[in-house]
Amino acid sequence: MKTLDQIAAELQGYDPQALSAHTVNGFLAQLVPLPTQSEEVPLMQALGRVLAQTVVSPIDVPPHDNSAMDGYAFDGQALQIDTPLQLTVVGTALAGAAYQGAVATGQCIKIMTGAVMPAGLDTVVPQELVQTSGAQITIPAGVLRAGDNRRARGEDLQQGNTALAAGSVLAPASLGLLASLGLPTVRVWRRLRVAYFSTGDEILSLGQAPREGAVFDSNRYTVWGMLQRMGMECIDLGVVPDEPVALEAAFRSAAALADAIVTSAGVSVGEADHTKAMMRKIAQRDTPGEGGVVFWRIAMRPGRPMAVGRVGRVPLFGLPGNPVAVMVTFLAFVRPALWRMAGANAQDPAISPPLLKARSTQAIRKKPGRTEYQRAIVSPDAQGHLCVETTGDQGSGVLSSMVRANGLLVLHHDQGKVSPGDVVDVMVFAGVM
């Protein structure tokens, strides 16, 4: 396991007082360990889990040529470009009950969606396109081609080919795919256990009486919600006062119970509380050479201060105290790091939601040299093109702006001011938050 100093030494331009967002993610990718424990679970318990081994298809899907719709099956070679085709219906093929008879030239069978295509037949005409007269049907010229409306054996998956790659986050479609292979169980990585707590004497737990200078804790609830969306096993250690004994007990408990630790507050430059000192003391003492903590000033807005390290071998993420900064730093840095720990493939959309292009409806002030994540509302204009506008006040304590937003407008490190009509990147919250 690399030490924090070794990781930092391998990153070009590493400066803990002025880190780019890209450098942060590069550091965290090397900090966190990969999973080692997997388990076999029923498909009904596998939603959102990470696939621990590649699934190879044991069968062809579909297992036979079959009809893609209700209609009439026949030999497509009989079709002519300019002449209607007349056929005699000699039987019916139902889904789950293959047709047993023979079909000669000039004949067809009525067939239902999913029914096996009899030998020698390769084309299905939808029933609404034909004219019927007793046992005769007429197919108008030019309405289809040979092979239309037939699902070929193995066109979805062929036996022996990869069905799902290791590291895939199992979505509803993935479960359906595994079920189509006849697999009742799947091997996944064990769920990550993540311990989290808020720090500070000014933080009130819900149910406590208000007092001057104190605020109710919102960060634990947003962190819990984001961890839940990821399918993590959450360990809530509550609000920890800014007192050395209590802080040490919280860090030790978290390290003993969890695979990762997330805290909020107490990491700003010049803070007078004990959180930073306790992070450093425990991280460096428990596992000399492997533990440790670094305090960063990230070139971003919101969320400039952040602490990262290990308590023993357990990764520690110390987030800022302001509510919006907590959510943005979690989304930008902690979420991808935890997914990596969970065994997910870095290219999986669950880890790296694509940045969409949208036109800004307004001018936005921005200087190169930092990444900005502005709360935004993304919507289509009258022509159906994506447009984006900010929610207004971008203060890092304005949590209501995250409620109004449906995404983040991402202004990159080297990017300057934005004019109305400029195309910008947006990260939509759907499936992420």
Helix axes 275-286, 244-257, angle to 10 degrees: 50
358, 386 Cβ separation under 8 angstroms:
yes
Q: What's the pTM? A: 0.89
Distance of CA 264 to the CA centre of its chain: 23
On whether the CB atoms of residues 217 and 155 are closer than 8 A, the answer is no
pLDDT, tens digit, 9 for 90 and up, residues 208-248: 889 988 888 999 999 999 999 999 999 999 999 888 899 99
**Tokens representing residue 299 in the block:** 């070139």
- In terms of Cα–Cα distance, which of 263, 319, 303 is closest to 408? 303
Give the Cβ contact number of residue 398 at 10 Å: 18
Phi, psi (deg, nearest 5) at residue 251: -65, -40
d(CA 143, CA 85): 11
pLDDT computed for residue 290 by the predictor? 64
User: To which H or E segment does residue 363 belong?
Assistant: none
The Cα 283–Cα 404 span in angstroms is: 38
Dihedral angle of Cα 198, 199, 205, 210, to the nearest 10 degrees = -140
Residue 158 near residue 57 (C-beta atoms within 8 A): yes
Nearest-angstrom CA–CA distance, 393 and 403: 13
First to last CA, the chain: 32
- Pairing status of strand 162-164 against strand 150-151: unpaired
Measured distance CA(172)–CA(49) in Å, rounded: 11
By CB neighbour count within 10 A (0-12 exposed, 13-18 middle, 19+ buried), where does 156 fall? middle
In contact, 66 and 150? CB cutoff 8 Å = yes
SS3 407: strand
User: What is residue 203's predicted lDDT score, i.e. its pLDDT?
Assistant: 85
Q: Would you say how long the chain is, in residues? A: 433
- What are the φ and ψ backbone dihedral angles of 190, each rounded to 5 degrees? -60, 145
Q: What string of pLDDT tens digits covers the 433 residues of the chain?
A: 888 989 999 998 899 999 999 999 999 999 999 999 999 999 999 999 999 999 999 999 999 999 999 999 999 999 998 999 999 999 999 999 889 999 999 999 999 999 999 999 999 999 999 999 999 999 999 999 999 999 999 999 999 999 999 999 999 999 999 999 999 999 999 999 999 999 988 888 888 889 988 888 999 999 999 999 999 999 999 999 888 899 999 999 999 999 999 999 888 765 555 778 888 888 766 556 666 889 899 999 999 999 999 998 899 999 999 999 999 999 999 999 999 999 999 777 767 778 999 999 999 999 999 999 999 999 999 999 999 999 988 888 889 999 999 999 999 999 999 999 999 999 999 877 7
Instruction: State the residue for tokens 């609404």.
Output: 128
Identify the helix (H) or strand (E) that includes residue 168: none
123: left (phi over 0), alpha (psi -120 to 50) or beta: beta
Output DSSP code: residue 34.
P
Q: Most distant CA pair in the chain: distance in Å?
A: 92
CB 199 within 8 A of CB 247: yes
Chain Cα centroid distance, residue 155 = 27
Q: How far is CA 194 from CA 16, 17, 335, 346, in A?
A: 25, 27, 12, 20
